[in-house]
Amino acid sequence: YIIKMLKNYCYLNTGLTIIYNGEKFFSNNGLKDLLEENIAEEDMVYPIIHLLGDDIEIAITHSKTQYSEEYYSFVNGQNTTQGGTHLGAFRESIVKTIKEFYNKPFEASDIRKSIVSAIVVRVEEPVFESQTKTKLGSTDMGPDLPSVRTFVNDFIKTKLDNFLHKNPETADLLLRKILQAERERKELSGIRKLAKDRAKKSNLHNKKLRDCRVHLTDAKNARSLESTLFITEGDSASGSITKSRDVNTQAVFSLRGKPLNSYGMSKKIVYENEEFNLLQAALNIEESMEDLRYNNIVIATDADVDGMHIRLLLITFFLQFFPEMIKEGHLYILQTPLFRVRNKKETIYCYSEQEKRDAIEKLKPKPEITRFKGLGEISPDEFKSFIGETIRLDPVMLDKSTSIEKLLEFYMGKNTPDRQTFIINNLKVELDVVEAN
């Protein structure tokens, strides 16, 4: 969090150098550098459009690999994570300017689909809608100054229009992206309605979802950030978690078998595939990430080869269609114990071979050793401690410089010679070793 904040200070104050714990932070190009930090060049539809003015700066591109809108907004150096009047004006002005430039009656959603952008404005005596200053409430840029809406609109109308006229290659790439979004929307319109109807019917008696009482969207609830959805495989594993969970903040979604490898597929598959459609409905992320129902999405699969495969397929699904979920730090892998080592006085749960060896040494001479091959083998009473305060979670993280498109192509695409070489060079064989006492 601190490093992210320091980087933002540098993006908003070009030329400023900050040294923290021996690491130097510096930015020459302001918000352009911010976008480059958050999206790989290979994933951009066109090079970043970077526009500067008095008391305003914006940076814009569109992503090849995500469907929703992604914004970074600031006011006077404050990161307005919930947006406000400046971001509302920005989203409105982008649509209006692009419609006028191409002289086409595009849908706003087609223009903004996959947009990744940043905006900063400097407002005199800003008014925020919350004590945390995460949403701008000011309607004017300052006393005797134009409204925020007029100021942002005039800037974008002039600067963006000029830029597109001077850069026809970028204008052509942007047009193609909008037309692609339009085609996809029309293609999805029929199947989306059918899928929504199906999801509504399923929600009435959805055996896949065991919901909780508190959700991330319950902003006034003190426990909203604890809201968690466990995605499990099969009835056995989901049964153990369901019986041991905190019904206030922990929900369970049960998969039936292995999900599809969604690499290279269009979003149409999310609606056609019942598992994906119901998962999307449970998360409430069809339109955007703003209404995400759970703060923590936890993949809870067995620690065997099949479980690892399901993890990969689910991560592929989120990278392919909802990469911002990973970028924003919502996706995790649940660590569950591989072994239980116990004697008559003490029980130790072990998450690795080394922990098992340490436990055997501690409880010698002849402890009982149990290997858990699946989550369903762990009793609800035992499971309760694994998903309580001492829960072990591995965050799914994405290197900012990594191209999602290339990453998925390498690991989930065709079996190329390069991937075969990678597998051979990284092959590991696990052996069950019987401990001699």
Task: Give the start-to-end residue ranges of the domains of the chain.
Answer: 39-184, 206-336+372-425
Spatial distance between the Cα atoms of 356 and 113, rounded to a whole number of angstroms:
50
Cβ atoms 230, 252 nearer than 8 A: yes
**Quick one: pLDDT at residue 437?**
47
Q: How far is CA 172 from CA 62, 99, 177, in A?
A: 13, 14, 9
Cβ atoms 174, 62 nearer than 8 A: yes
Residue range 166-202, pLDDT digits in tens = 999 999 999 999 999 999 888 887 777 776 666 566 5
Asked which of 70-79, 193-202, 259-268 is least confident by mean pLDDT, the reply is: 193-202
Hey, what CATH topology would domain 206-336+372-425 get? Rossmann fold (3.40.50)
Q: Is 25 in a helix, a strand, or coil?
A: strand
Q: Is pLDDT at 48 greater than 50 in this prediction?
A: yes
Rg of the chain, C-alpha, whole Å = 25
% of the chain residues with pLDDT over 90:
46
The mean pLDDT of 229-242, rounded to a whole number, is 80
Among 43-52, 258-267, 361-370, top mean pLDDT goes to 43-52
The mean pLDDT of 20-43, rounded to a whole number, is 92
> In this structure, how many other beta carbons lie within 10 angstroms of the beta carbon of residue 137?
12
Q: Tally helices (H) and strands (E) across the chain.
A: 15, 16
Cβ atoms 382, 393 nearer than 8 A: no
Q: How confident is the model at residue 286 (pLDDT cuts 50, 70, 90)?
A: confident
Spatial distance between the Cα atoms of 154 and 152, rounded to a whole number of angstroms:
6
CATH number of 39-184: 3.30.230.10
Cβ atoms 177, 114 nearer than 8 A: yes
Tell me, yes or no, if the two domains 39-184 and 206-336+372-425 fold the same way: no
Residue range 287-327, pLDDT digits in tens = 778 889 999 999 998 877 788 889 999 999 999 888 889 98
**Quick one: pLDDT at residue 237?**
66
Spatial distance between the Cα atoms of 173 and 48, rounded to a whole number of angstroms:
12
